[in-house]
Structures are given as structure tokens and as C-alpha cells.
Chains A and B, each alone.
Chain A
């Protein structure tokens, strides 16, 4: 049969989970990572990365809004997905996740953003006219109290929300790993390390994404990149990445050492069908290279320009590497037969409901949403606000 080597059970030949299911953990990962970066400012008081605080939250929000879309496109009857909310099923991890998602969206992200922006929202509601003014007025919820005491209270509540937000972010992404890790019929997925590996790779990709978005937006606004800020981000990126790398290696070593009945089959797959995406792209290009680059920036005193370049290269490679990791988990886990006697091939369509174009669109959509959000709620500091306000007109 086309694309099949050896023996596959009939229901294994065509993959059930397409590239959209690769996108889904990738996007939720970026959300969780961006939020963790924001919490560095709020909870851990890392002042150096403050310029990215609001940007990180807005990035998290725009990606979170898009996160369920790949799943909706994957479903044959998307409208039925809402039954997950209407008839909650407490023993299904997938069903319960709907609530984790809503909680994270409304009680954590939107609430924290609202508290943080409230003063500006109120000011804008009073000064802006027209449709936009109405939007700001709606966002104030009809309360214009931005007295010193009220804002101080907001600051305190915001701190608590972030504190709750950290475990929520871990839950949000840990869940995705949990889903894969708990599929005991699939040896490529079934591992209790899965949620933890997913969380750390999520933090790495999210931090890298915010760093790149920060550098790009600052460049586009014609301003100077705050080097102390990107230095600090890169340092945290490096440390998180080391933990992530250690965990993934641990998972790998454990599999090799355990060498259960699936091992020969999986090992063969990694050396043939998955060689390029796994060994070359994920490990060599997406993990070892950026690790070495980041290590150089930490060890050697390099000039600013070169450092920034290295950050951009490392950040981009990390984004590719983490995507490859998701790809190898989701697609790789479906390429081999449960009989361990054969392998199938994944063929991605260009134009179809679950094809390349839809995926590319879904990957760009969060950036478009972010663009709109930034226009409505500029994340930059007071002084710089002016620059953007002029530009927006």
C-alpha cells in the first residue's frame, strides 16, 4: 500500500491527528511560556524584563484566543464541542480541559490585563470619541474610580492573580502533555515525564517568542532595543532551556535503558522516518545549536550588536526546534504500528480543512490579533505612548 512499509493495522494507515494537532500544543505552549515570563516581573520582581511585561500578557492572550481553533478545524462537527461545557464529564481529561481553558482565559489573563490597564482604559474612555471611545467605556464597566487607593488595590489583586496564574499556566500546558502521556496504548507517548517536558519546552518557546516579538516591535517602532532587558530574557531563556534539555535527555535515556518491547521499533523509526525532524531539526538544530549560542553569550563578553544577533538566531531556532518537538510527538506517535511490524507515512495536504494553508493561517492569526490588541491597549510606557498614538492616527 502507498506509504506503508511492513504491516499496519487498517485503522493505523491514515493518521487521525494531523498537523493541526501539532499546532495546538505549540500554541498553548507559547501562551504558558509568555505568561511565565510576565510573572517574572510581577512575582519575582525581575525589573530588567519589565518592558516586556504587558507585551507578554497580550501575546499570551492573542495566542490563547487562537488555541482552540486548530481543534475546531480538526473536528467534523465543531458545534458539538460546546457539549463539553454543557454536559461536563468529570472522568475525561479532554472534557475537563475546557474548564481549565476558560478559567485561564477569563479569571487569569483577561482579569490580570484588565487590572493592569484599568487606569489607561479609564483615561482613554474619557478622552477618546467615536466607536473606539465606546469600546473603552464598555471596558471600564462603568466604573471610573482610578484613585490612588483603588489602583493600589488593583496592584495587590493583580499580584494574587499572577500567583494563581503560574500554577494555572502549568496546568494549562501540563494538561496537553498529560493527554499524550496518559495514552498507555502508545509507547511513544505514554510516559509520566510527558507533562513536565511539555511545560518546560513551552516555557522555552514562549520566552523566545516574546523576546523576538519585543525585538521586532521595538525595531518597527524605530526605537532602541533595551539591551539590559533582552540580556535578562536571554539569561532566563538559557537556564530554562538547560532544564528542558536535561529533562528531555532524561526521558530519552530512560527509554533507551528501559528498552521495552516497543524499543526496537521506535529506535528504527527515529533512525529512518523521523531522522530529519527528530535528530536533525529538533535535537541538532533546535536544541544543541541555540544552547551553544546562548552559552556563548553568557560566557564571553560580546559586543551589543553581535549579542542581539545571536539572540535572534537562537530564538528563531528554538521556535523551530520546539515546533519540531511537537511534530515528532504528535505525528511520530502515529507513524508506527502497534504490532511493531510496520510504519506508515503522513501526507499533509496543501489546501484542505486540515492542510498546510489552514495551519499557516492559524499560526499568523495570533500575530494579527496581537496587532489589534496593541493598537487598542498599547503595552509601551507612558513616554513612548505618544509615539504610537501619533502613528496610529
Chain B
């Protein structure tokens, strides 16, 4: 028993740890959201919150139901895999509305739109079609690439700048 007598201070230090741990648990129960860990290492309710936010993009299936002609043109050309809204911007306000004519989207300006994807930089894969500043000779891209939905040019114009 006498050997125990001298360990009192050590137990007190250990008690400090236990106390700190209990406080930690208490604070933790208070600050950690209830739904934390429901699906993974995040607040489960974040999904509910996100689902409640307004939609901005309608998705290309939505566009295709009304603009079937353009969808067909696009599907046959080089931009087949580029989404409508990648060029036209978020259009839920137009496509999902009861009256689509209430918000008619403005036509994108090809002078600024096309180079966003096609400007030549070293970082892009070599087989991606890229053009430098001289290519358009100061004209808007659709002067020559007349149909943005199927941008390859007709045979008559081909053999030009490339």
C-alpha cells in the first residue's frame, strides 16, 4: 500500500487527461452535426441542402426534345460530344420553363466563344484541333465555319488555312 501512497500526483495528472477527454467529447457532441458520417466523411444533410438549390443547367436531353433539328446536325459533326450548354451556357431558365419563349437565350458570339476551347497552348494534347491567332485573320469564326453545330467546312472551302 505504501508504494501506492506516492503515486497520488501521477493519478492527478492522469485525471487531467480524463477531464480534458470528457470536455472534448462534450464539445464534440455539441459541434459535430448530427448527420455527419451518414454516407461518408461529410455531413449527410449536405446532400439534402444541395438538392434544394435551384437548377441552372437543363442537360442536353432537354434541349433535344424541342431543337431536334440542331441536335441532329450536331450529332453528325465534330461537335457531337460537346454539350449544348457548354456553348450556350446554363439554360434551365429557358428549357425547363412552361413557356420557353419567355427567356430566349442570346446567341453566343463566336468571336469569343470558339477560342475558349480551340486556342493553341502547349498544355493541350497534340491531337486536339487548335488554332493560333493568325488563323481567323481577324474575322469571326462563323464567317467561314458557318455552322457552329457542325463546324467542319464544306468541300469548296476546304484546303484553305490548314
Interface residues of A (CB under 8 A from B): 7, 9, 85-87, 89, 106-107, 111, 114, 118, 140-143, 145, 147, 149-150, 153, 157, 339, 341
Contact = CB atoms under 8 A, between A and B. Distances in A.
B17 A153 contact: no
Contact of B9 (A85, A107, A143, A339): A143
Contacts of B162: none
A339 B6 contact: no
B17 A149 contact: no
A9 B123 contact: yes
Given A87-B41, A114-B13, A142-B12, A153 B28 contact: no
A332 B16 CA distance: 44
11 contacts: A86-B27, A87-B36, A106-B17, A140-B9, A143-B8, A145-B8, A150-B6, A150-B9, A153-B6, A153-B10, A341-B122
B24 interface: yes
For the complex of A and B, the 9 pairs showing the least CB-CB separation, nearest first, are A143-B9, A150-B6, A141-B12, A149-B6, A7-B122, A86-B28, A143-B8, A86-B32, A143-B12
B31 interface: yes
Contacts of A114: 13
B19 to A, nearest CB: 11
A87 B24 CA distance: 12
B12 A87 contact: no
Interface residues of B, number: 23
Given A9-B123, A106-B17, A339-B122, A118 B32 contact: no
Contacts of A143: 8-9, 12
B13 to A, nearest CB: 6
B28 to A, nearest CB: 5
B13 A147 contact: no
B112 interface: no
B123 A7 contact: yes
Nearest to B33: A87
B18 to A, nearest CB: 12
A85 B24 contact: yes
Contacts of B38: none
B101 interface: no
Nearest to B24: A85
Contacts of B65: none
B7 interface: yes
B9 A111 contact: no
Given A7-B122, A153-B6, A339-B123, A86 B31 contact: yes
A142 B8 CA distance: 10
Of the listed residues B6, B17, B36, B121, the one surrounded by the most CB atoms of chain A closer than 10 A to its CB is: B6
A11 to B, nearest CB: 11
Interface in B24-43: 24, 27-28, 31-32, 36-37, 41
Contacts of A341: 122
Given A106-B20, A150-B6, A150-B9, 7 more contacts: A86-B27, A86-B31, A86-B32, A87-B36, A107-B17, A114-B13, A141-B12
Contacts of B24: 85
A145 B123 contact: no
A289 B24 CA distance: 49
Nearest to A90: B41
Contacts of B41: 87, 89
Contacts of B16: 141
B68 to A, nearest CB: 38
B133 to A, nearest CB: 17
Nearest to B31: A86
Given A9-B123, A339-B122, A341-B122, A87 B9 contact: no
A89 B41 CA distance: 8
Nearest to A111: B13
B14 to A, nearest CB: 10
Contact of B6 (A9, A141, A145): A145
Interface string B55-82: 0000000000000000000000000000
A7 B6 CA distance: 69
Of the listed residues A9, A106, A114, A141, the one surrounded by the most CB atoms of chain B closer than 10 A to its CB is: A141
